[in-house]
Amino acid sequence: MTAVRAHIKAHSSSPHILLFNNLININQNGPLKCTPNVKQRFGPLESSFPLLGKKPSPFATFKKQPTVEELQDMLLTEIKRSSEDDEPSFVPPPFCGDEGIVMSGEDAATELVQNLGDPTFKSKGFIPNLECPVLDEMAAKTREKAAGYMEETPMMCSVFPCDTLIPLQHHNETMSYSTLLLGSILWMIWPPTERNLTLLHRAYDEFAIDPDEEKFNIANELTGGVVFVQTASEGLRVPPYCIMLGLATENSVLAKYSLLSATQFTAMLHKLPFLESWWKTEAHGKEKRADFALALLPRIKRILAGDFDPYPPAEFLLTGQKGGALFELVKGWEQVNSSIASLVDGETAKGIKEVWVDFLCKVVGRNCALCTGYLQDKRKEMLAHFQDVHWPKEKVGETSEPMEGVEMTGGDVTKSD
Ligand SMILES: [Zn+2]
């Protein structure tokens, strides 16, 4: 904790530092090196707890860190490329109310990168999640192996000018691995306990009704958090659904990629009501929701096809298997099917029913694997049974148009983009 306090003292001129000071001194959030009791609040596994150091960084084995000039060259190339693809590259968009656009996102991002070496440079925004194929290539051999994982994101860079507050938000459903390539960031990370997530859920709901950033001033109500400084070249692994707040205490460049496992996906299905509230607070929430909904079918299909389990799905009822992606999906289906039905369009709903019927007809014993009380292996009858018993009556979203584009949801590093 001495290092954190010294860091806070050294950056005491930051307008946001008092918040962190209070979170430590008044709200008693502690250091990352903590007792097993504090760790336990994050979850039962070693991987449930944030990890800081060389290990989570795919760049740790490099002989030397990139210089400011090398980073500038790389980022300027990527900004140019992303602008050609019409990707957003600056948050908040550098618009000036009624006066119209004063600077393009590309120009604002370029200006920020050109000034990375100037500690006195002031900027009103930051660059979120800029894809960096060059870094991807550099880290291709050293990043966490994706075996058993469902999906992984490409390497993305975020660039924060000094004194940027990275607002309170939940980390998405993935396990993320970030490396600070330049600067320093003071982090507070809280465990995804039911109490903490309920408080954040409420803040999302309130913000959706009245979009006032004050609604997110709930950090002092969250409990069990840990505080630490991530310095240049250090890696940080963050588990799903932790709640995060950050402060860039220098001009900082953060490179990050994420892995989504099949069991993280099935666990996430139980958090759909939380995500529905979060999407309402996001600048591109509707698109994110639509992308997410469209990605559900291929993910569910792979789990029901047995891609992530060591036994054939046909033997589901015979193995007595407890745990694993298929087991969790089957066990939790009745609790999540309503949220899914109201999220997806008609095409996706049809597809989800089809992949379930494929699975249910395949399971040896011909009992319905969901309720074990129904004997049938004919597709038509099984579909009727599934619709009748295992799909909600109220099919809210099924009349909407099919959606395009598939993307892993955000929720980390940048709350809005
Ligand atoms: Zn059934």
* 355 CA distance to ligand 1 middle (Å): 14
Are 353 and 393 a contacting pair, CB within 8 Å? Answer: no
* 373 CA distance to ligand 1 middle (Å): 6
* 292 CA distance to ligand 1 middle (Å): 27
Ion ligand 1 neighbours, Cβ < 5 Å = 368, 370-371, 374, 389
* 304 CA distance to ligand 1 middle (Å): 15
* 236 CA distance to ligand 1 middle (Å): 43
- 143 is written with which tokens? 């990043």
Q: Which of 169, 159, 168 is nearest to 126 (CA)?
A: 159
Q: How far apart are CA 378 and CA 387, in angstroms?
A: 14
Q: Which of 94, 126, 150, 130 is nearest to 309 (CA)?
A: 150
Are 386 and 394 a contacting pair, CB within 8 Å? Answer: no
Q: Which of 118, 130, 116, 211 is nearest to 167 (CA)?
A: 211
Q: How far apart are CA 207 and CA 140, in angstroms?
A: 39
* 394 CA distance to ligand 1 middle (Å): 18
* 393 CA distance to ligand 1 middle (Å): 15
* 389 CA distance to ligand 1 middle (Å): 6
* 367 CA distance to ligand 1 middle (Å): 8
* 360 CA distance to ligand 1 middle (Å): 9
Q: Cα-atom radius of gyration of the chain, to the nearest Å?
A: 23
* 229 CA distance to ligand 1 middle (Å): 51
* 388 CA distance to ligand 1 middle (Å): 9
Report pTM.
0.89
* 374 CA distance to ligand 1 middle (Å): 6
* 383 CA distance to ligand 1 middle (Å): 10
* 390 CA distance to ligand 1 middle (Å): 6
Architecture in CATH of 2-258? Sandwich (2.60)
* 264 CA distance to ligand 1 middle (Å): 25
* 68 CA distance to ligand 1 middle (Å): 60
pLDDT at 394: 60
Q: Taking the domains of the chain in order of start, what are their residue ranges?
A: 2-258, 284-399
Q: How far apart are CA 33 and CA 158, in angstroms?
A: 26
Q: How far apart are CA 377 and CA 360, in angstroms?
A: 8
In the numeric block, the tokens 């001495």 are attached to 2
* 345 CA distance to ligand 1 middle (Å): 23
C-alpha dihedral, 375 to 380 to 383 to 389, nearest 10°: -50
* 376 CA distance to ligand 1 middle (Å): 10
For the chain, 417 residues long, give each residue's pLDDT as a single digit of tens.
Answer: 889 999 999 999 999 999 999 999 988 899 999 889 889 999 999 999 999 998 888 887 777 778 999 999 999 999 998 888 776 678 887 765 555 666 788 888 999 999 999 998 988 899 999 999 988 888 887 877 666 689 999 999 999 999 999 999 999 999 999 999 999 999 999 999 999 999 999 999 999 999 898 999 999 999 999 999 999 999 999 999 999 999 999 999 999 999 999 999 999 999 999 999 999 998 889 999 999 999 999 999 999 999 999 999 999 988 877 889 999 999 999 999 999 999 999 999 999 999 999 999 988 876 789 998 777 778 899 999 999 999 998 655 544 444 444 444 445 544 443
What's the order of all strands across the beta sheet hosting 226-231?
30-31, 226-231, 184-190, 243-248, 165-170
Total residues found in the chain within this entry: 417
* 380 CA distance to ligand 1 middle (Å): 14
Q: Which of 262, 245, 257 is nearest to 130 (CA)?
A: 257
